[in-house]
Amino acid sequence: MKLLPVIISIFLVTALLPEAQVHAEGIVETAHDNTLIREGPGLSYPAVTSADEGDRFTELQRVSGWVQVSLAEGSGWIADWLLTETETSTEPSDSESAAEPASDNNNGTILVDRLNVRDDFSSEGNVIGTLNTGDQVTISDEKYGWLNISTGTLTGWVSSDYVEYNIFSAVESSDTLTDDIHITVNGLQVRAEPDRNGEIIGTVNLYDSFTVEEESEGWLMIEFEDGQTGWIAEWFTERGLHPGSAGSGDLDGQVTILYNGSNIRMEPSTDAAVLYKAGAGESLEVTGETGDWYEVLIPGGERGYIANWIVSAEDGTSPEEELNDEPVESISDATIVIDAGHGGRDGGAIGAAGTLEKSLTIRTAEALYHMLSSTGANVIMTREDDRHVDLHSRVAVSKDHGADAFISLHYDAINDRSVKGFTTYFYGGPDEALADSVHSGLSDSMTIKNRGMHHGNFLVLRDNSAPSVLIELGFISNPSEEASVNNERFREIAATGIYNGLTDYFSGGN
């Protein structure tokens, strides 16, 4: 498993796109079976439906290599290299070819690490370099699912599956910009110029919110200190104020610590330094709220942050206690969260033949979902399609639903292609009993190498209030194991093993 940085691209509404990107209405035809039609013009948007070779659609407009088409209900977007044009109702002018994407916006973001750049549009092409997550490229051509890209120092071909088009408005005047944004990572650098090589003049943190004053080619100008402005990379932001950010309301009152040794940190992040360790039952005054964190006063008068999923409400009951007031004695009474690892811009590990971990995890999660739902269990998915869900949000799903078990599904990769097998990770405490049951179920059903149970310091385990496990169901860096896990039968066997383990866990009164 490879936990990639969160890469966020901002997509503005199509109404703000330049007129040069809107083309004459015509008819387009899909060139392949199982062509995905997406919610928006980019690979990170979830698919709304699919089409087969020869299906025809009315074209509405084109945006940077994507075609918006009319559907029976609403509209969707298809990558233009998956289409063939059949006819148009209006002939485009010489200066505006309907077959070409607008050149102003042919920029993209690399979605994965160690992406091979080749000298030809084929997997047989020679590797001439590599790119990593977040690298920005200029796209000049598309052929058969490959993009011709340039970084300024490297020009070649990469698979289009691992590149996200950046779509920006041509408007850059601060007079017309009133958009609010919030930061999606900690320690984001603020630069003096809208460029990756610009001088670093400050940093901003997770959930900090700002008003955009100016935009320039994927960079946003913000006022990050009183009277001081700077530029931040747009792909590490999301539109809108964060619900817990400054200006969205503070919370006054008391919280009670649920667990001994609960960490109170300098910043609202599990990576921040620990200021104080609180004991179970200790009450602290709340002075504010940032995202999923309370700002509290600790002994001595200093302020710190504690995660809201490890404290109780003012009445002394935690959200989990309110939801789970009856003991769970069978799987049919349980609330189980299935976490399909990665998704959207985060492809996860890449297999020896190019398999994306995110695709395998969602298929395995779907198989497990149907098995568990048939028992009457309340089953929650952290994602149901190919979209990005940050790690804190996955934990929040577990907390919000009062989960009795949290199962995170992954597939592993390593440079040594001979390594294979499945592994179960747990963090500690109540996780170990769940891990023991689930791993036993997998051991009984899986035929690949059993790599055992291990302690894992993963955020979705460490910060989870429910018993949690993270399972690596095989090494896709191993060519033979990659071929196995791509088989639907393998995923059914894996899901069956987890299902059996959960059944034993809940029947044992854990």
Secondary structure of 265-278 as H, E, C letters: ECCCCCCCCEEEEE
Flag whether pLDDT at 259 surpasses 90: no
d(CA 357, CA 341): 8
Q: How far apart are CA 35 and CA 51, in angstroms?
A: 5
Average pLDDT of the chain, as a whole number: 77
Q: Rounded to an integer, what distance in angstroms lies between the CA atom of residue 42 and that of residue 160? A: 11
Is residue 506 within 8 Å of residue 462, measured between CB atoms? Answer: no
Mean pLDDT across 410-414: 93
Percent of the chain scoring above 90 in pLDDT: 24
Chain mean position to CA 39? 16
- Higher pLDDT among residues 508 and 200, named by residue: 200
Identity at 80, one-letter amino acid code: D
For the chain, how big is the Rg over CA atoms in Å?
A: 25
Largest CA distance in the chain: 75
Greatest mean pLDDT among 76-80, 368-372, 395-399: 368-372
Candidates 401, 411, 408; CA nearest to 468 is 408
3-state secondary structure 383-440: CCCCCCCCHHHHHHHHHHCCCCEEEEEEEECCCCCCCCCEEEEECCCCHHHHHHHHHH
Between 291 and 510, where is the model more confident? 291
Q: CA-to-CA distance for 462 and 3, rounded, in angstroms?
A: 15
Structure confidence by residue, pLDDT tens digits, 282-308:
888 888 877 667 888 888 888 888 877
Lowest model confidence (mean pLDDT) among 205-219, 427-441, 461-475: 205-219
Contact 190, 229 (CB under 8 A): no
Burial code of 289-299, b = ≥16 C-beta within 10 A, e = fewer? bbbbbbbbebe
- Structural domains of the chain, ranges and CATH numbers in brackets: 19-101 (2.30.30.40), 105-166 (2.30.30.40), 253-317 (2.30.30.40), 324-507 (3.40.630.40)
Tell me how far apart the alpha carbons of residues 134 and 112 are, in angstroms, rounded to a whole number: 8
Q: Are 34 and 78 in contact (CB under 8 A)?
A: no
Binned at pLDDT 50, 70 and 90, residue 372 comes out as: very high
Phi, psi of 390 (to 5 degrees): -70, 160
Residue 140: pLDDT band (50, 70, 90) is confident
- Cα dihedral 3, 413, 336, 487, rounded to 10, equals 140
Q: Is the pLDDT of residue 317 over 60?
A: no
Residue 474: pLDDT band (50, 70, 90) is: very high
User: Does the structure show a pLDDT above 50 at 322?
Assistant: no
Give the pLDDT confidence score for residue 101 in this predicted structure. 35
pLDDT in tens, 328-354: 778 988 999 999 999 888 889 999 988
Chain-centroid distance of CA 272 in Å reads: 22
The amino acid at 411: Y
**272 pLDDT above the threshold of 80:** no
Note whether 461 and 426 are within 8 A (CB): yes
Higher pLDDT among residues 458 and 323, named by residue: 458
How long, in residues, is the chain? 510
Please compute the mean of the pLDDT values over residues 15-28 and round it to a whole number.
46
Q: What's the confidence (pLDDT) of residue 287?
A: 83
What does the H/E/C string look like for 127-171?
EEEEECCCCEEEEEEEECCEEEEECCCCEEEEEHHHEEEECCCCC
Cα 243 from chain centre? 19
Helix 357-373, helix 488-507: angle, nearest 10:
50
pLDDT above 70 coverage of the chain, percent: 76
- pLDDT (average), residues 185-195: 81
Identify which of 390, 370, 354, 337 has the alpha carbon closest to the alpha carbon of residue 491.
370
Lowest model confidence (mean pLDDT) among 258-272, 310-324, 481-495 = 310-324
Cα–Cα separations (whole angstroms), residue 242 to 214, 290, 307, 325: 20, 8, 16, 31
Q: What is the pLDDT of residue 17?
A: 36
Which residues of 245-399 form beta strands (DSSP E)? 253-257, 262-265, 274-278, 283-290, 293-297, 303-307, 311-312, 335-340, 378-381
